[in-house]
Chain A
Amino acid sequence: MTVNETLAQASNAMVYGAMTAFTGAMVAFSISLAKGRRLETLEESAQRSSSSYQVRKGSTATLDKPAVSTSVSDGQDRGEGRRAGNIGLALTWLGTILIGSALLFRGLSAGRPPIGNMYEFSLAAGFAVALTYCLMSISRDLRWLGVFIAIPVLLDLGLALAVLYTDSAQLVPALNSYWLAIHVSAAVVCLGAFTIGAALSGLYLVAQTAEDRVVAGKEPGRSAAIAQRIPSADRLDLMSYRIHAFMFPIWTFAVIAGAIWAEAAWGRYWGWDPKETWAFITWVIYAAYLHARATAGWRGKKAAYVAIAGYAAILFNYFIVNIYVQGLHSYSGL
């Protein structure tokens, strides 16, 4: 079977379209962020969370029967930033659909799952980040997070086109297996969601730093410029934790699916190939994050650093190991 060039070119055009949409989204979200304000002042958040964990739990408002579902508020008042935020959100949806279609066309052009080399894998990862964000923002107001999503997606797409680009082609036999779709798509979904998790952990660090300074009686400092426009530190920490806790079993599945595939393709299910080693390291770091969250003296900032280290390991595995390290996983197409 040959490659359909028309479809492959259409796919490339869509990637450029998606980049345009995300550039617009980035601008709109920046405006929205600049105009937004958190409902609580830094002082209020700091006071609320500086009283201990237990007491904080006891301070939630009383509900009235027959109260209907109370959706969790992120404590944000977008006020004037609302319009810009909505434009950003619409452009993000558009960009997401464009990357999705670019992937679809790429797959159709070669008649196989479009995750066979680093270019396609990067498109899929950008798609996973953007789609996760879109889906999450259906049930909550995440306009404040938009710019922190649009920027990594733009970087990812730019890198894909400028550095990783490979013509559409069929697969080498080693990849020609239904495990490609299972193992790699699970890995891509994790990459996407962990990107958002890392962004939240980073923002948490900013907010926590600002709140800590307020508690210590210092000027809030530079971190306050962002901290005042995003939810409170404890809220960010919780959101980040929930994403990581939800994704960790899926990441485990991705690694195990890789092992099952390795058993069928290479004659052993685990052989400490560099890619496997870094998948293992990533897995152990995220496991450590979950442990840290449950260990006194480690939750809070330290745990957030661990989560970010886990994400750094993912990026290392993707860029450094794929391109520079010799191993069985040398399918980057570069």
Chain B
Amino acid sequence: MRIALILLFLLALASVPGSIFPQRGTSPLRVNEFLKDNPTSGPILDRLYMFDVFASPWFASIYLLLFISLTGCVLPRALEHFKEMRSQPPVAPKNLSRLPAHIQWQSSAAVAKVVSETSTAWKKRGWRVRQGEDWLSAEKGYSRETGNLVFHLALLVLLIAVGFGGAVGYRGTVIVREDSGFANNVTQYDTFAPGRMFGADELPPFSFELKEFAATFQRGGQQNGAPREFRAELMVKDNPSVEPRPVTVEVNHPLRTSGITVYLVGHGYAPEFTIRDESGKVVWEDASIFLPQDSAFTSSGVIKVPDTVPQLGIQGFFLPTVSEDFSNGPVSKFPAADNPEVYISAWQGDLGLDSGMPQSVYRLDTENMKRIGIEELAPGDTWNLPNSGGTLEFTGYRKWASFVITKDPGKGWALGAAIASIVGLSLSLLIPRRRAWLRVTASGNGGNLIEVAGLSKTEAPGLADEISQLAKLVNAPEENNDR
């Protein structure tokens, strides 16, 4: 018990740095930033696992020790409790009047009758009763200990379920544009994080198409622009051989199919451009994903056109509701596409795609490129690209939504264990464990002294009450001494 107590304190203490330093598991970018800003302390902290607290060996050793001590404590107690449940309540102490609750009175009722009738009555109220010649001993509240054992066992199960689910499952993210689709295989994910024991054949063959994404925002007031509703309309094929079915996915309402869950986590805009070379041939026609930079969805992105000579690169901003002045740069003033514009620059030269280094699709490497112009365009506008004879048409925009897709086979077990732990905990903290006794002693002149007494093995209130209730069930009226 003392060891468990110390380990509990250690566990609480060990979690603290996990909330102070950024953690790789949840915010890898902020970890990199931290390391850049703190070149001396950063690496030391890193070596101490301060950015991976919950996956660190020292955190694991604390909870493993805790669970070993738990097992070592629970198993013997479970055995003992099992024995106790099958044995009889202990006999009454000699002097009942020294117990915390004690009631006595004179009666002329027959001893055997009092004892046997009381026994029946007490049993009916849920007490386990042991009967002697002129006494009863009774006990109640075994489920307190049962609950306690259930609770601690449930914690063990919970830990195993968490570990198992993490090892066998996976988590991936993907961005899908309106009127485009996604098929569930590893290459289609933008990021994919499998558990240690994950096998790629565990990806169920489902696919979906994003038909429409709708977002609404607060208009006016202190919270102008705050999001109010996000909704993604999908056509889902649970496997290649079935007809697609329509499904609406919202925040808090994920899609669940064949063991995986699809969550809507983000959204943005994908402006559509058509780019032609000097002969009028289309060299680019697509909607490119632009990433939101602020809460008004000023979005930035790039386009790389490798097939022209020299190569062409476009970078800039999509502004869903363009603001009147650009004194702080081109910005949007509202997240909905009320008055969309793009503000872009065009570059000529070498995109650097052949260097062999993997490139981000969201960044233009302008080292070997020359800027040829900047332009602001509304939908339908065409820009005659300077120095090239080609044109760029801003034809409109589509929306995109990002999804997190997960599989966690331990989830159900974890939930079951969590529910069991609450039930166990409630029993263990709220059920009073009590003992009660009845004794009938001959007190000369033909009468009997009846005593009812009890004690509480826990700190639950109401013992006096309960004992006087038990006394009322003793079918031996108080004697009228005047007679």
User: Which A residues contact B (CB, under 8 angstroms)?
Assistant: 3, 57-58, 60, 62-70, 72, 166-167, 169-174, 176-177, 179, 238, 241-242, 245-246, 248-249, 252-253, 256, 259-261, 263-274, 277-278, 280-281, 284-285, 287-288, 290-292, 294-295, 297-298, 313, 321, 325-327, 333
Contact B222 A253 (CB under 8 A): no
Please name 19 pairs of A and B residues whose Cβ atoms are closer than 8 Å in the assembled complex, sorted by A: A58-B99, A60-B464, A63-B468, A65-B471, A69-B468, A72-B461, A169-B218, A169-B222, A174-B251, A176-B252, A245-B430, A256-B418, A264-B252, A264-B254, A267-B265, A269-B414, A291-B4, A298-B5, A333-B223
Interface residue tally on B, bucketed by range? 35 or more
Q: Which residue of B lies closest to A173 (CB)?
A: B251
In the complex, what residues of B have CB within 8 A of residue A179's CB?
A: 252
Alpha-carbon distance between A330 and B100 when the two chains are bound, in angstroms: 52
Our pick among B104, B251, B261, B459 for the contact of A241 (Cβ within 8 Å) is: B459
Does B11 have its Cβ within 8 Å of any Cβ on chain A?
yes
Which residue of the partner chain, among B2, B252, B471, contacts A173 with CB atoms under 8 Å?
B252
Identity of the chain A residue whose Cβ is nearest the Cβ of B424 in the assembled complex:
A249
Residues on A with C-beta less than 8 A from B460 are 242
Complex: A253 Cα to B210 Cα, angstroms: 37
Q: Which residue of B has the minimal Cβ distance to A310?
A: B12
Interchain CA distance A67-B471 in the complex, whole Å? 9
Which of B19, B218, B263 has a CB less than 8 Å from the CB of A274? Answer: B19
Interface Cβ pair total, 8 Å cutoff: 177
> With A246-B430, A291-B4 in contact, is A281–B16 under 8 Å at CB?
yes
Residues of A within 8 A of B9 (CB): 285, 288
**Contact indicator A170/B103 (Cβ below 8 Å):** no
B230, CB-defined interface residue at 8 Å: yes
Q: Cβ of B15 and Cβ of A268 under 8 Å apart?
A: no
Asked if B350 is an interface residue, CB under 8 A from chain A, the answer is: no
In the complex the two chains form, is A267's CB within 8 Å of B19's CB? no
A63 to B469 CA separation, bound complex (whole angstroms):
12
Please give, as numbers and ranges, the residues of chain B lying within 8 Å of A271 by CB-CB distance: 25-26
A67-B103, A252-B422, A280-B15 are known contacts; what are 16 more A-B pairs with Cβ within 8 Å? Answer: A62-B102, A63-B103, A67-B464, A70-B468, A170-B228, A171-B228, A173-B250, A173-B251, A174-B251, A263-B411, A267-B404, A269-B414, A284-B15, A291-B4, A294-B1, A326-B27
The residues of B that contact A288 with a CB separation of less than 8 Å are 5, 8-9, 12
A173-B26 in contact given A260-B415, A264-B254, A288-B5 (Cβ < 8 Å) = no
Q: Which residues of A contact B250 (CB under 8 A)?
A: 173
Alpha-carbon distance A287/B12, docked complex (angstroms): 10
**A327 neighbours in B (Cβ, 8 Å):** 26
Known: A58-B98, A63-B464. A281 touches B12 (CB 8 A): yes
Which of B8, B27, B254, B422 sits near A287, CB closer than 8 Å? B8
| Min CB gap B170→A, angstroms | 11
- CB of B429 within 8 A of CB of A267, answer no
Q: Binary interface profile of B, 6-37, with partner A (CB < 8 Å = 1, else 0)?
A: 00110110011011000101110010000000
**Is B54 among interface residues, defined by CB-CB distance under 8 A?**
yes
Asked whether, in the complex, the Cβ of B16 is within 8 Å of the Cβ of A265, the reply is no
Instruction: Knowing A288-B12, A291-B8 are in contact, say whether A60-B100 is a contact too (CB < 8 A).
Output: yes
